[in-house]
Structure 1
Amino acid sequence: MTPVVWSAEEASERLSRPTADLDTGALRDVPALVVDDAHLLPTDALDPLGLLPVVCIGVATMGTAPGFDAVAGDLASALLLASAAHERPNAATALAQVLRASEGQPIEAALLLESAVYATLQAGPEFAAWLSGRGRRVRPDEPEPPVLVDDGTRVRLTLNRPRLHNLFSAAMRDALVEALRGLAAGDDRPIVLDGAGPSFCAGGDLAEFGSVDDPATAHLIRTTANAAPWMDRLADRLTVRMHGASVGAGVELAAFAHSVEATSDATFCLPEVSMGLIPGAGGTISVPRRIGRQRTLAWCLGGSTIGAETALDWGLVDEVL
């Protein structure tokens, strides 16, 4: 599939047609649309962009083309994003749509949408292809608690699978939810969340991906046992200290906190689109709050790993130690 590029003038004309949605979309082998000089697109042409089943990428300076799903500073960079969308058209399109629809919504509705779309993609061909290439993985029993709780004048919660870089397992999720739930009522102590070992949290435990029999059940589990709403509820009291690798859920959950600190060696990545998925631990809400919808989508499409200084420049973290 070759990325489609329109000039601002052509985009304005095409988007004014009632059949604009018939020109693009993953089902028509056009999962991404690039508009050159996107800042010149008239305001009345922006509304149709939000209805198109396509990743809309504008060539413009950040902040000058608000109707687009992502922006790039030059055509070559925009085409790279479009090519990434072509590689995983279902996941890329779904993420663009979720980020659009979640903007400004209450967190309960936004998390429900994220989980439902994540479950849909779990049943899709892109995730199946990734899963088949991953191979089978089995974890031995782990006697240590997955989250350590240190009670004092402040509460310190420590992710505790250091040998596995604190991969976010179901057991860790449940332990974190239990700890956060207990702090949500009648307790106003400050909370610090960090990770034991070489990394804060290197993402979801890949050994557990695809382990639930059906996506509908997985959706119910995510909406019943999810750390994201508790992180959001306690955000004003919460400081997250990040070091080493932070991937997927490790980035998404931390982004809810009022204060996020990172060591100079910290790295950050959201690789879910490359797996045929979207961020599924609250990241479609927490990350755009910090860095904006357009940058979130571009980062997810590119799949790049960024360092602490870039994270600070974007607003993903508040301080580099």
Structure 2
Amino acid sequence: MNITALTVPATRLSVIEEPWRGPAAIVPLETAGHEMELRLPPCPVIGIGPSAHPRAAAFDLVVDQMSEIDTIVRNILAHPHAAATLVQVLRTTGGLEPVRALTVESMAYAMLQGSAEHAAWLARRKPRAVSAPGAVQAHRRDHVLEVTLDCAATGNAIDCAMRDGLFAALSMAALDRDIECIRLSGAGKAFSLGADLEEFGTTCDPATAHGIRSLTLPALAAIECADRLEARIDGACVGAGLELAAFSHRIVASRRSWFQLPELSMGIIPGAGGCVSLPRRIGRQRTALMVLSGRRISARVAHDWGLIDTVVNDFTCDQSGDHMI
């Protein structure tokens, strides 16, 4: 990994220069003048320096020091096409209405499903025993609909059955305006470990997979009832689980919860709505940081970033009580 070869002054990305063709560009913010017109290449562009720099917002992500960048660059070099697709999607969807942004995300995700990077991950992965299909429990009490991911044995991994259940429950809630609150939670010790990995590669045609998502992606229904959707996170909140929860207007998490977007290591990007929901909560740059680094963040960090709204010790009492921190 030659970070030096990827480090360029901002002038190298000027519109008067030849397009940068590397897998990433690392730019010291001190070289970015106020009036300089930049042309971002189709790869991650990482600014090095203080996030308060006047030109910091122009880049895909910003880190304070060069020492923080090793893992990010290593991940980009291991999956350059997925990394490039991620930042291009995030640049494109920020100004789009959410449903249209989901379409862009899904098409990009479908493309990567057919990529060599994803195929290599599929070839390396060791299959595990197939578990019982996931389930979604939906129970209404007065004006509150409780929606529970109910497959604790798999950490509430979201398989086809659970996706369909989520889409049905959230679609019904979106139509019924008498439901004032939709509470989304997970059974057991994890909110969700993300998409069920055993289903990856089972739909071989990316166009077909995109067509399925266009009709039944739970995020589509979540958008329609987001103003009444509340997620209660306890434990791991990973991948597709986090992507869906982030559409909620309010997210409450226990102190022990943690959050992660590991998709880049699989040669793909978040495809359950995360390229749309997370930037609207934490911004494009922190979303890119989570995906490109693959790092886990704690409930405290998630709260500081605005990914979650409230941290509680647990959910054993009313959240207006002393357990809130």
Fold match by TM threshold 0.5: yes
Given candidates 12, 15, 23, the residue that maps to 2:13 is 15
Q: Structure 1 residue 125: deviation in Å? A: 0.9
| CA distance in structure 1 between the aligned counterparts of 2:30 and 2:92, rounded to whole angstroms | 22
**TM alignment of 1:138-287, pairs within 5 A:** 138-142=129-133, 146-153=135-142, 154-189=144-179, 190-287=181-278
Match of residue 27 from structure 1: none
TM-score (norm 1): 0.91
- Asked whether the equivalents of residues 14 and 37 of structure 2 are also in contact (C-alpha less than 8 Å), the reply is no
Q: 1:177: how far off?
A: 0.6
Cα 1:137–1:186 change in 2 (3 A) is same
SS at the partner of 2:230? strand
Q: Does 1:112 align with 2:103?
A: yes
After TM superposition, give the deviation of residue 43 of structure 1 in Å: 4.1
- Given the superposition, is the C-alpha separation of residues 141 and 5 from structure 1 closer, same or farther in structure 2, using an over 3 Å criterion? closer
AA partner of residue 89 (structure 1) = P
**Aligned partner letter, 1:295:** R
- Following superposition, the deviation at residue 305 of structure 1 comes to 1.1
Aligned-pair CA distance for 1:62: 2.2
Letter aligned with residue 152 of structure 1: R
CA contact 1:46–1:67 (8 Å) conserved in 2: no
Indicate the RMSD between aligned Cα atoms, in angstroms. 1.6
**Contact 1:70–1:294 at 8 Å: present in 2 too?**
yes
Q: Please state whether the residue corresponding to 1:156 is helix, strand or coil.
A: strand
Distance 1:167 1:71, change over 3 A: same
Query: Counterparts of 2:253 and 2:30 in 1: how far apart (Å)?
Result: 35
- How far apart in 1 are the matches of 2:18 and 2:224? 41
Secondary structure of the corresponding residue to residue 166 of structure 1: coil
What is the match of residue 47 of structure 2? 58
Q: 1:75-97: CA deviations, max 9, x gaps?
A: 12234422321111011111011
- In 2: Cα distance, 1:45 partner to 1:113 partner: 29
The alignment-based identity, stated in percent, is 41
From 269, 272, 279, the equivalent of 1:288 is 279
Q: Structure 2 length normalisation: TM-score? A: 0.90
Residues matched between the structures, number:
307
Select the residue among 20, 35, 46 that pairs with 2:27.
35
Q: Please say if residues 58 and 78 of structure 1, whose CA atoms lie closer than 8 Å, have aligned partners that are also in contact.
A: no
Q: What is the CA distance between 1:319 and its match in structure 2?
A: 0.4
Displacement of 1:257 in angstroms is 0.3
Q: Deviations over 1:192-248 (max 9, x none)?
A: 010111111110000101111211111111111111121122111111000111110
Whole-angstrom distance in 1 between the partners of 2:207 and 2:256: 39
State the AA in 2 paired with 1:92: A
CA distance in 2, matches of 1:83, 1:45: 29
2:45 counterpart letter in structure 1: C
Q: Is the 8 A contact 1:249 1:280 kept in 2?
A: yes
- SS of alignment partner, residue 139 of structure 1: coil
How far did 1:6 drift? 4.0
- Look up the SS of the partner of 2:127 in the other structure: coil
SS in 1 for 2:39: helix
The amino acid across from 1:60 in the alignment is G
Paired with 1:261 and 1:92, the residues of 2 have a C-alpha distance of: 30
**What SS class does the counterpart of residue 175 from structure 2 fall into?**
coil
**Is it true that 1:45 corresponds to 2:43 in the alignment?**
no
Q: Please list, as runs of the form range in 1=range in 2, the aligned pairs for 1:101-140 lying within 5 A after superposition.
A: 101-140=92-131
